[in-house]
């Protein structure tokens, strides 16, 4: 049986790390995309120590830097000829307005635009697989979002709920539009809500901001472990039950109904065209 290849963004911690480890345990060759070499190498050691018939390797990518994404794509193309599974897992949230290197609002820039560019640059590798799968980790937080086309980078009236909600709605709209654009190919595209998962999302590694909240939430039984949160992404990556299924939104490994705004094809197409211009994608 030929070894399958998967790529997971944000693989240095949380659900990305848990997803990578589980796929290695199932025999996949996993490319762990991380922004930091130091944290990436530490995560790689953890995955290797967890064991499994598969393998893992580190590839560097800063989703907040378009030039880094293009270098990352070149690196991946130099390593593999086909990509069976692409999992867009990385995500950020910021209480205060911040920008990426290219001047994008941070959450929209990383969670959506960074993945928009990287996915499009890797799409030929996914198409080259026998039955490529693209999995977009979104969130139920999309319900609090809308696409603020007059001011998508939230230069006026920023708040964290608007920021994160917009980026997660963008994730779903992107997945649905990409599914339409890959219709008739062997590639499938699905989005998912992992549920409430206890990760380091939102914690400032330098100042420790958010750490107290994180610890408090850790005592709440309603929060899942990263391994539990990763289960739907792993299911969509590996289960034969979803072979050929595309343009769905999953929660707890089952299709889940979306709010009407997340199924607006006109908004999705408009977002795609705007995103192309933002990232300079021909």
Instruction: Report the CATH number at residue 65.
Output: 3.40.50.720
Supply φ then ψ for residue 127, to 5 degrees: -65, -30
User: Does any domain span residue 211?
Assistant: no
Q: Mean of the pLDDT values across residues 77-91?
A: 98
Q: What is the pTM of this model?
A: 0.92
User: Does any domain span residue 70?
Assistant: yes
Model confidence at 224, pLDDT cuts 50, 70, 90, reads confident
Q: What's the total number of domains in the chain?
A: 1
Residue 164 a catalytic site member: yes
User: Does any domain span residue 183?
Assistant: yes
User: Does any domain span residue 18?
Assistant: yes
* Domain hosting residue 94, numbered range: 5-196+225-279
How far is Cα 269 from Cα 254, in angstroms, rounded to an integer? Answer: 26
User: Does any domain span residue 44?
Assistant: yes
Q: Mean of the pLDDT values across residues 243-252?
A: 98
Residue 14, pLDDT above cutoff 90:
yes
Model confidence at 195, pLDDT cuts 50, 70, 90, reads confident
The active-site residue out of 164, 183, 214, 249 is 164
User: Does any domain span residue 205?
Assistant: no
User: Does any domain span residue 212?
Assistant: no
pLDDT score for 223: 67
Helical segments of the chain, H only:
14-25, 37-50, 66-79, 106-107, 115-128, 160-181, 211-217, 226-229, 231-238, 265-279
User: Does any domain span residue 206?
Assistant: no
pLDDT score for 222: 58
Residue 92, pLDDT above cutoff 90:
yes
The alpha-carbon radius of gyration of the chain (Å, integer) is: 17
How far is Cα 79 from Cα 73, in angstroms, rounded to an integer? Answer: 10
Q: Higher-confidence residue: 206 or 83?
A: 83
Model confidence at 210, pLDDT cuts 50, 70, 90, reads very low
Q: Identify the three-state secondary structure at position 62.
A: coil
Contact 108, 116 (CB under 8 A): no
Average confidence score pLDDT of the chain: 92
Q: Higher-confidence residue: 182 or 205?
A: 182
């Amino acid at each position: 049986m030929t070894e399958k290849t998967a790529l997971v963004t944000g693989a240095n911690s949380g659900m990305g790390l848990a997803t990578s480890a589980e796929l290695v345990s199932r025999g996949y060759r996993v490319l762990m995309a991380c922004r930091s070499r130091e944290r990436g190498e530490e995560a790689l050691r953890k995955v290797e120590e967890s064991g499994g018939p598969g393998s893992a390797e580190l590839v560097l990518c800063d989703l907040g830097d378009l030039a880094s994404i293009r270098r990352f794509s070149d690196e991946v193309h130099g390593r593999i000829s086909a990509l069976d599974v692409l999992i867009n897992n990385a995500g950020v949230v910021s209480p205060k307005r911040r920008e990426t290197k290219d001047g994008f609002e941070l959450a929209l820039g990383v969670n959506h635009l960074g993945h928009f560019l990287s996915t499009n640059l890797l799409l030929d590798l996914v198409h080259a697989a026998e039955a490529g799968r693209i999995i977009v980790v979104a969130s139920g937080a999309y319900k609090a979002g809308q696409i603020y086309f007059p001011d998508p980078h939230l230069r006026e009236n920023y708040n964290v709920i608007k920021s994160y909600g917009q980026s997660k709605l963008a994730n779903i709209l992107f997945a649905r539009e990409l599914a339409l654009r890959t219709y008739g190919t062997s590639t499938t595209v699905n989005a998912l809500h992992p549920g409430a998962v206890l990760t380091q999302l939102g914690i400032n590694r330098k100042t420790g901001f958010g750490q107290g909240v994180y610890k408090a939430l850790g005592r709440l039984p309603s929060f899942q472990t990263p391994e539990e949160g990763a289960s739907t992404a792993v299911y969509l990556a590996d289960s034969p039950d979803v072979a050929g299924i595309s343009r769905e939104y999953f929660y707890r490994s089952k299709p889940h109904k979306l709010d009407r705004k997340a199924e607006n094809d006109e908004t999705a197409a408009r977002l795609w065209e705007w995103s192309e211009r933002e990232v300079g994608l021909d």
